[in-house]
Structure 1
């Protein structure tokens, strides 16, 4: 028969083992993204795996800061609310660090600089040569994007919003709008991958701004984890390798 004292000691030992195992368990963060914004995040057409510049950056940061990533796919305009309510621990989806967003969430250190570009059909190039020619035009954008913010500032423009950039490009191709506004690098990647001979980009960059990883307001622990990991991949050359993989050259 085991005495009460021995049972008590056994219970403590078991509790100690359990706590140690819990303490050693690798942290997992729920990271939100909207995978239709190539080359930042999109689904591999063969495997349906989420891939892209942002995905590689976050996975590299996680490796350096020793946490696991649980990817959560959401509509773009639903990601910030999910971070704010705590459904997500962070988010990476080419989020520009603008004043409106900074009021609601925190950001990591900037990991990319992006400007907005104007994609048009070549049959309209005589009429649309820059942003000053967009007045009164029909403009396609992705819901919640900086491109949508830019379009809404255009005088008398009719702004048509879509859930994904792919849908916006289709609308432009079918003459459902006169121009599509999105990140320059997104336009460049689209042209390189689709070889769409009907499209061209206007040689003007609008509102260049920094891009960062979205973090819940005031959560210093997650901010430190992400920023420390980011600094490591910048210093050890991983960032440059990832950049060169998805864009023309590292910087």
Structure 2
């Protein structure tokens, strides 16, 4: 799969009034803000194997947001299954890990405006020939799907690839997204659903071992999360609008999805 759909989606999100360029942004006075992530979702955020440092699209975006709003970022790490509740409990002020905006999560946390739109695809081993899309996968009775419980990928797998039964034994659960990828590589599962952003990162890093197949199974918007009623939502939204308008997000998309090669 090429990145045209991702880039076009990013350009669509960037179409905001030119007046945003001139709008003054709030000044947060150098306050410290704890931002939590999982570091397991390349190229949005991950540990660079060459340097051992956390990097990615979201890091660059958050650093630029912090610069423009005048706050200091303290980056912290936690698991996906703990993140939303921890942010809801105000253990961290912002969460970022390619979090899909949906109504269920809005009951617990506030979301920023979308900063990226992506689509779900099937990630498989490069030598997979038994199926090439959701329909043909459904015809394979013993095909296994790897997923993290409670994620968009899990629910799309259950309801778009399988029979709607969340207890279906054909779906194998893992604690991290990275563990699902490892299980795919070793043949313990046959497909992992991923948005196109993370999927492209893993394909590039696989040295030809993985590929994306089939068409998009649905679009999703990513947003940063905050505790309910957080006074950071408004300023961050203003910064997101400015970064879309002045082309910063487009430049980051080019950097991380076209120019950067994970592990090279």
Q: Is 1:225 the equivalent of 2:232?
A: no
Query: What is the match of residue 247 of structure 1?
Result: 257
The 5-angstrom pairing of residues 61-100 of structure 1 reads 61-100=65-104
Distance 1:122 1:236 in 2: 38
Partner Cα distance (1:225, 1:161) in 2: 37
Rounded to whole Å, the distance in 2 between the matches of 1:139 and 1:37 is 18
Q: Which has the higher strand share?
A: 1
Judge which range, 34-43 or 141-150, deviates more: 141-150
Indicate the residue corresponding to 1:131 in structure 2: 134
More helix by share: 1
CA gap 1:151/1:57 in 2 versus in 1, 3 angstroms: same
Structure 1, residues 149-178: CA drift from partner, whole Å, max 9, x if none? Answer: 212222146211223333212211211012
Q: CA RMSD in A?
A: 1.9
Structure 2 counterpart of 1:203: 214
Secondary structure of 2:121's match? strand
Q: Any conservation in 1 of the 2:200–2:257 contact (CA below 8 Å)?
A: no
Other-structure match for 2:223: 212
Q: What pairs up with 1:1-251 in 2 under 5 angstroms?
A: 26-125=30-129, 127-135=130-138, 136=141, 137-153=143-159, 154-155=162-163, 156=168, 158-197=170-209, 199-219=210-230, 221-248=231-258
Show the counterpart of 1:21.
none
Pairwise CA distance, 1:25: 5.9
Once residues 67 and 126 of structure 2 are traced to their aligned partners in structure 1, the CA distance between those partners, rounded to angstroms, is 44
Aligned length: 223
Q: Distance in 2 between matches of 1:106 and 1:87?
A: 14
Question: Equivalents in 2 of 1:86, 1:186: separation in Å?
Answer: 27
Q: Which deviates the most, 187-196 or 67-76?
A: 187-196
Aligned to 1:17: none
Larger radius of gyration: 1
Query: What is the rounded CA distance, in whole Å, between the counterparts of 1:236 and 1:183 in structure 2?
Result: 26
Post-superposition, which runs of at least 4 consecutive aligned residues in structure 1 deviate over 6 A? none
In the TM superposition, residue 143 of structure 1 has moved relative to its aligned partner by: 4.1
SS at match of 1:94: coil
Alpha-carbon distance in structure 1 between the residues aligned to 2:218 and 2:112: 20
User: CA offsets, 1:107-159, max 9 Å, x none?
Assistant: 1110000111101224432x322112333431012344311121222214621
Structure 2 partner of 1:5 = none
Question: What is the distance in 2 between the residues matched to 1:208 and 1:242?
Answer: 20
Alpha-carbon contact 1:33-1:91 (below 8 Å) kept: yes
Structure 1's unaligned 5+ residue stretches are 1-23
